[in-house]
Amino acid sequence: IAGITQAPTSQILAAGRRMTLRCTQDMRHNAMYWYRQDLGLGLRLIHYSNTAGTTGKGEVPDGYSVSRANTDDFPLTLASAVPSQTSVYFCASRPRGGSTDTQYFGPGTRLTVL
Amino acid sequence: QKEVEQNSGPLSVPEGAIASLNCTYSDRVSQSFFWYRQYSGKSPELIMSIYSNGDKEDGRFTAQLNKASQYVSLLIRDSQPSDSATYLCAVNIRGGSQGNLIFGKGTKLSVKP
């Protein structure tokens, strides 16, 4: 593993189903983020975690939950998917120190909820 | 509501020309500013960061910051067709979690051969 990985790459999901998007980083970055990107709306922050064991809500948290049990993993769960959650989801991470606000992005997960 | 505004474009420039991308932000206390490039179907890739007023150059890219005017720009010199992408401006926010960024909706750049 090098950098940030996300799984699955894409998924088609029936409405009402539960889904977990996975994000793993091997850079020992402290902070991690989940964004969704929609045409015309840009990147919007769903949830974030500044360090293992803590999480916070972003701009559009409703319908999503996250956990941060360790430094490397930051899964995003949709408890009961709805069509409006059709989007491209990006995970990002930020190192401690240096340029402290710089975020690096994973390759994304394209999710379609029918 | 803290905001970051960009012209959506598309901005079309001929190969070899200078492309100028602009961004304004609403939070006067923002301290960190970023430009990301995003190719179609790909994830955002950091190309420049700037923290102080003035210009910062990196190869063909120059970021310009004017905090008094709440304005940040990206100049791409000698534009190439490979520069065709959407450019996202991002600004850190204060008053919330340190390190959180707000992104503009992006400007689509097209460099014509």
Cross-chain CB nearest to B97 (options A43, A50, A90): A50
Chain A: nearest CA to B5, how far in angstroms? Answer: 11
The confidence score (pLDDT) of residue B45 equals 96
Interface probe with A: pick from B100, B102, B105, B108, most Cβ of A within 10 Å: B100
B106:A101 CB<8 A = no
Q: How far is CA A48 from each of CA A55, A57, B55, rounded to the nearest angstrom?
A: 6, 6, 31
Query: pLDDT-derived band of residue B50, with 50, 70 and 90 as boundaries?
Result: very high
List CB contacts (< 8 A) between B106 and chain A.
42
Each residue of B16-27: pLDDT tens digit? 999 999 999 988
Residues of chain A falling short of pLDDT 70: 1, 97-100
Beta-strand ranges (E) seen in chain B are 4-6, 11-14, 19-25, 33-38, 45-50, 54-58, 61-66, 71-76, 85-92, 101-103, 107-112
Q: Is A48 on the interface with B (CB under 8 A)?
A: yes
The confidence score (pLDDT) of residue A96 equals 73
The confidence score (pLDDT) of residue B94 equals 64
